[in-house]
Structures are given as structure tokens and as C-alpha cells.
Amino acid sequence: MKYKELIAKMTLEEKASLMSGKDFWQSQDIERLGISSIFFADGPHGIRRQAVAADKLGLNEGNPATCYPTAATVANSWNAELGEKVGEYLGEEAIAQKVNVLLGPGVNMKRNPLCGRNFEYFSEDPYLAGKMAASYIRGIQSQGIAACVKHFAANNQEERRMSIDTIVDERTLREIYLTAFEIAVKEGQTKSIMSSYNKLNGTYTNENLHLMQDILRGEWNYKGTVITDWGGSNDRIAGLIAGNELEMPTTAGETDAEIVEAIKSGKIKEEVLDECVDRLLDLIFTTEKVYKKPQSEFDIERHHRVSQKVAEESIVLLKNEGNILPLRFGKKVAVIGDFAQDARYQGAGSSIVNPTILDHTLYCFEESGIVSIGYEPGFERYGKKSQKLIDDACALAEKADVILLYLGLDEATEAEGLDRHSMKIPENQIELLDAIYEVNKDIVLILSCGSAVEMPWIDKVRGVLHGYLGGQAGARAILRVLSGDVNPSGKLAETYPLHYEDTPSYRNFPGGEASVEYREGMYIGYRYYDTANVNVLFPFGYGLSYTTFEYSDLQVNKDGVKFKITNSGKIAGMEIAQLYVGCKSDEIFRPKKELKGFDKIFINAGESKTVYIPFDDKAFRYFNVKTNQWEIEEAEYTIMIGASSIDIRLVDTIFVEGTGAPIPYDKKLLPSYYSGLAHNVSVEEFETLMGRKVPVSTWDRTKPLGYNDTIAQCQYAKGLIARMVYHLILFSYWFLRKIGKRNAANIIMMSIYNLPFRGIARLTGGLVNMPMLDGILMIVNGNTFKGLNHVFKERRKMLKISNAKLNS
């Protein structure tokens, strides 16, 4: 241990006190030993340090900070160097705000396009997500503070996220849902990791010994700190044994006392606590060093320009019929759509950033050189229909040469804690598009949203430019692409299916009441669509440019691939070359192709450049469930170089020697997985893949409600008060949506409806403790008066202890 002498000076109570927060955003300090508190702040795409009331959870506005494009946006740049630059600037701003640990990046897979937090995650592909995350982490930590990669692991939906049990087979877990974390740990050297809320195969992630000890600490040799998601601790002792150092936020000493008692009773050894304290001390001491130097404010304008550069490189041109873009000089443009006036530039939830500057389309036209003849909102942002808004927009559209139509998803649709209900753009926006199409067919659609949407209307527009969520400078960046000042170079980091029903997880999202089964296995995103030959709207890795690129001269050897790209167009541009690998053997089921490398290259018009992409340790491996380790199958492998997952330009083969591991599967028993048609797997076949029975996915309505049951389950509680509270919550949600207060309605669902009862104690900063929660559960389960008496008795006891501490 690094801090053995210091730990020896601590009392048992002091050591235990370090294992939970001082308040909602700070770790505990021990002044007599020179151990300071460190500050945590949300921040996957900008620093969110709350300006006031730091003892309240996440609902107050943050100090002004640069709002960079979200991870889903930057992933479309496929530029790891750019990601590292974003990280460096995030680190600079964190230091300016005295933040020690930045809670990000998020690397969970986009298993399903409806996950409400997809805007915060990079990709459906673990290799791309991992490489981008590692670059962010290197940038953040180059400034002396810590990144905190999240949410570990298999947290791929928001609905019931604090109680859902993710059921996934070991190979899929390793290859799809852990690979990005592995890259973040090994290549990014992240100093901290946030455990997720959910269970994984029956055990909460921060208590899961297989996940936390066998894999994270054992196989990956992780030496850093594990921090719970806020309110994500279930059994504090089980978490400590698993190596979960820090529980956040504060529990007002309640779980510290549990740790002390567990050690005194012999339930756990003090050495386990000492090791956890040692790792946390390392996080504290290594991140506080930077604050011993004189601090300076960050350059707001320079950071804003960097945000714009990142947005420009992440914008994706999806359609450009007749080369309608870039806009010709002198064309009269009508700007229509509420998102043009009030930019949609970030997601909602704990990641909301209070921007230092905010560009809006209507204020940036003069410098863009685009001639605007006027603006109309065209639709009401949150879905209310208005024929007058449509009529006014059509009147303007008739006078224009080209329509710039700004559509997308609103802030209340893409939000932490809630999944989307569909992949559709709101109906009032589509009605606007249909009406404009009748008066002017030269429509360029600018899309603003952080996740995939259906586009059955795409034949009615000549151009589609997807800005995703481009941060505070995104509006100006889009205009620079429209005008031709910037040649678009982004490519999709996720597939856009034709219909939501085409997605492989469609039948198993968001799962049952108690669990979600990942029956599709490893076949998510392009791995499924390409293998099962399902047509998509836009494939993974797709994006257009204002120039053209030709690929040639592929050379493959045991170390990697080399090939040539020529810019055959008339203007300079950047191309993203993608390396895919497919195994020609059918002994072990695999996707048709998997991304194993990529590079982004700037090439002048008429110029050729040689590109080299090396093979790494992930190029040919698969996880063998019989040997319980990574193996290589001896076989011929197809090496594919593509401009997208389906636009393969160069192909060759290479023979790779294997590790001689036994074949882990009986092909006859797993037909869906061997064919790749894994969109409708039976429970029997899934159980064969799992190697065990899957748990019942419905709530047990015969048992009394307990700590890990959710408030939503009050619908069948024995207590009349509990059932009344349940219906009151539902009514409040309906009423708030009815009067247009959708954000407030979302908070009810996120913070109350799907909250486990233990969250009442874990997220109230000591206002409610676990003994008081026992009384609440008595009321819920029908013992109303006994429960009330218990609550008041425990409340008085808690206040008495608290007052005694204050007076001592």
C-alpha cells in the first residue's frame, strides 16, 4: 500500500468515514491528518459544478462553463486526437472551477436507439467507444485531475435503471459491453470508475465480485478508485468487499457505522477497508496537487472556438441530392423551424451545462455569407399543433430558392432517467415538412437530436445535415458546413434503421418488470444488420463529403494493413477509413464483420496518401466461455477496408494461427446465433447460450415490498396510503405533461416513480435513515400506525444523536 503509514495513524471510525461523501459533491476530509475533501462534478461534455446549494442533488444551475458537443456527437468525428483535445480543455475548466474528479466520459453501448441517455454515449461499437473514451481520459488527466468513466456496466436503458437486472451471457458481456471499459482502463489509464445502478446477472454491479474483482481488479489490473453512481449503493459491506471505495453522496455517517460494526464483528477484515482507503487516498492526493499551484481562469473565447471546431468535424451529411449543398452564392434562403431560433445543443439530466456563450442560427447569418429572406418557427417546440405556424412558414417558403428546415427532438424527449417512447420526430414537425413540400421542394433538413430517428419522410427533402447535439457553438458550425466554408467529414457512430421494429433488441427493450434479457447476444447495431442482411436507412460509419475519395493498393501482413486513399474531387477534405475483420470459419458464431481499426486523414484535392492501420490485441480475439479467457480461432480472416460498414472498398484475406482452444458451443443448439438472425430468440435458446435458467422477469406481488422494490410497485402494495401515493404520482405526471411542464413531469418519473425505496435514504443526505425507512415500509405494507410510530421514534433518535454530536 502507498499510504500505509498514514492509514496506521487513523482510527477505525476515520477510515470508515472516508468511504462515503461529506455531502452531495465532496468526499470526506480528516483535517488532523492533512486529508482534504475533493470535489466531484458532472461533465461528460462540460463542467457542471453547481453554483448554489451543493447539498442538493443535481437540480440547480451550474457555474458557466463551455458546453462542448456531446459524446454521441464527437464520436461522429472518429478523431481520437480531437477527443483528447476536448479532454484537455475540459480539464482546464475543471481546474478553474476547483473540481478534482470529472464524472465522465460515458461508454455504455447503444444497445437500443430508444435509451434516453444515448446522447451521452459514444457508439454502438465498443472499439470506437473505447478509443474515443481513452482519448478523452488522457486529455482530462493530462491536466492533473481525474476522469471517471461510467457507468460500469451493462447499463443500457434508463427505465427502472436503479433496480433492473441485466441478464447477459458472458461472451456478449466481455466482447460488447466491457470492451470499451477495458480500453478506457488499459489505454486511458482512468483514475476512477463509476459503478452503475443496475444488477448484472442477479447482483448489483458495485457488489458483483466477478465484475469488480475477477475482471476489473484481476484481469485488467485496475488500481484506481470505484465510486458508486449517486444513490447507487445497496449493501455497503458487500460493496466494500467487492472493492467499491467511495459511496456517494453522503449518508450522514449511517453506512460508516455499518462498516465499523462489520469489522468489529469479524464480518470483514480491517485489511479490506485499509486497501480501499489506500486507493481513495491516492485519488485525493494525486488530484489535489494541481491546486497547490497558482490558478488562472480559462480563456472563454478560445474554448468556444475549440467547441466550434469539434462541432464542425462531427457534423454528418446524410443526403445531398443534386449537390444542393453547399449553398450556391446568392441563393435566397428561408429559415424555418424553432430549433433555428432556440438551438437544441445538449441533452437533459445530470449533464446539463450552463454555457459561457451560446450561438443561435439567426444571429450568425451575416458572417456565413448565406442570404436569409426571413425566419418562421413553423412548429411549437414541445409538440402542440398550430395551423397558423404552418401557414406562416409556407408563405415564407414560397418566396425562397432553398428552405433550411430545422427539425429534431426537444430537451424533454432525450433525458436522463427516461427512455424515448418511439424513434419518430414529433408529428407537428412532420406536418410542417409535408406542407412546405407542397409549396417548395428544395428543402435542406438540419436535424438536431442526440440519437437515431426514423425518417420515412426523407424522400421529401433534398439534403439532410445532422448536427446531433453540437454544443454551444453548434449553430455556427452548421452554417459553416451549409455555406461550404467547412467540408463535412463526420460519419455515423451508430446505425439508423428504417423502422424501430428492425432493431434486434426490439422485443426485449426495456425488458420485463424485474429484468431485461439481452437475447440478441452480440448482435447489436451493424453486427446484426450486416450479418442478418437487414436493410437500413443509414449504415454505421456512413457520411457524405463535398468531395470524393478512391481507395487502392491494399497490402496486408501479420502486423496490419496499408492502403492508399486519393481525393478524386475538387476540394480538400477529410476521410474516415475503417478496418473491419470477419472470420471465414463457421465453427464459432460471430458477426459478419467487426470494426477493428480506423483513421481520419486530411487530403488535398488530387492528392493521394498512404494509410497504415495496425492490428492490435483485439483484432482477432473472441471470448471462449469454456476456457474463460480470450482466444484466437485458427482460420482465414477477411480484411475489409470501408468508407462505411456496408461500403467496403478493398478486401483481402490473411491466415491467423489460433490458440487451440476447444469449440465452446454446439452449433445445433444455437441456430439463431449461428445464422445471425438473433432478433427473436426463444427463451430456451437464450438459456442454452447462458448455460442456466433465466430469472422470472415479473415482480413478485405476493411478498411485502422491501428496500430494493420501487415506488412504482406501490400499485399493488397492501397499504392504502401507498396505493394512493402511487395514483397521486401518476396523476401529477399526467397533469404536468397536460399543462406543458414536461421537464417537471420527467423529474417525477426519474426521481420518484422508478426509485427503489432504499433511494429515499441514500439520496436525502441523512434526512431519512434506514431505520426510518423501515417505518415507511411498514406503512407501505399495511401497518400504518405501527409504521408512523416507528418513523417518528427513529427520527427523534436520529435528531438526539445529531444534537449530541453538535454539542460535543
Residue 53, pLDDT above cutoff 50: no
Residue 302, pLDDT above cutoff 50: yes
Q: How far is CA 741 from CA 158, 349, 554, 752, in A?
A: 20, 15, 57, 16
pLDDT score recorded for residue 347: 86
Confidence class for position 55, pLDDT limits 50, 70, 90: very low
Q: How do beta strands 146-152 and 101-103 pair?
A: parallel
pLDDT score recorded for residue 808: 66
pLDDT score recorded for residue 329: 86
* Stated length of the chain: 808
CATH of 536-690, one of 3.30.70.100, 1.10.10.60, 3.40.50.1820, 2.60.40.10: 2.60.40.10
Cα separation, 417 vs 749, whole angstroms: 7
pTM above threshold 0.75: yes
CATH architecture for residues 30-245+278-291: Alpha-Beta Barrel (3.20)
pLDDT score recorded for residue 749: 86
Average pLDDT over residues 769-790: 96
Q: Which of 461, 479, 490, 682 is nearest to 598 (CA)?
A: 490
Contact 417, 456 (CB under 8 A): no
Residue 582, pLDDT above cutoff 60: yes
pLDDT in tens, 720-730: 999 999 999 99
Confidence class for position 399, pLDDT limits 50, 70, 90: very high
Residue 802, pLDDT above cutoff 70: yes
Q: Side chain identity at 471, as an amino acid letter?
A: G
Residue 508, pLDDT above cutoff 90: yes
pLDDT score recorded for residue 59: 56
User: What fold is seen in the domain 302-516?
Assistant: Rossmann fold (3.40.50)
Average pLDDT over residues 491-512: 97
CATH 3.40.50.1700 in the chain: give the residue spans.
Answer: 302-516
Grid cell listed for 390: 404552418
Q: Give the helix ranges, DSSP H, for 417-543.
A: 427-439, 474-483, 526-531
pLDDT in tens, 221-270: 999 999 999 999 999 999 999 999 999 999 989 999 999 999 999 999 99
pLDDT in tens, 127-153: 999 999 999 999 999 999 999 999 999
Residue 486, pLDDT above cutoff 50: yes
- Report the percent of the chain where pLDDT is more than 70: 99
Q: Give the helix ranges, DSSP H, for 174-299.
A: 179-186, 209, 236-242, 254-264, 270-288
Q: Give the helix ranges, DSSP H, for 210-330.
A: 236-242, 254-264, 270-288, 300-314
Average pLDDT over residues 46-67: 72
Q: Hey, which residues are catalytic here? A: 229
Residue 61, pLDDT above cutoff 80: no
Average pLDDT over residues 441-465: 97
Tell me what the pLDDT averaged over the chain comes to. 95
Cα separation, 160 vs 519, whole angstroms: 19
Contact 791, 783 (CB under 8 A): no
Average pLDDT over residues 540-552: 98
Residue 20, pLDDT above cutoff 70: yes
Average pLDDT over residues 739-764: 88
Q: Which of 193, 71, 161, 99 is nearest to 710 (CA)?
A: 161
CATH 3.20.20.300 in the chain: give the residue spans.
Answer: 30-245+278-291
CATH 2.60.40.10 in the chain: give the residue spans.
Answer: 536-690
Using the Cα atoms of residue 359, residue 363, residue 366 and residue 368 in order, give the sign of their dihedral: positive
Residue 187, pLDDT above cutoff 70: yes
Residue 670, pLDDT above cutoff 50: yes
pLDDT in tens, 336-369: 999 999 989 998 888 899 999 999 998 888 788 8
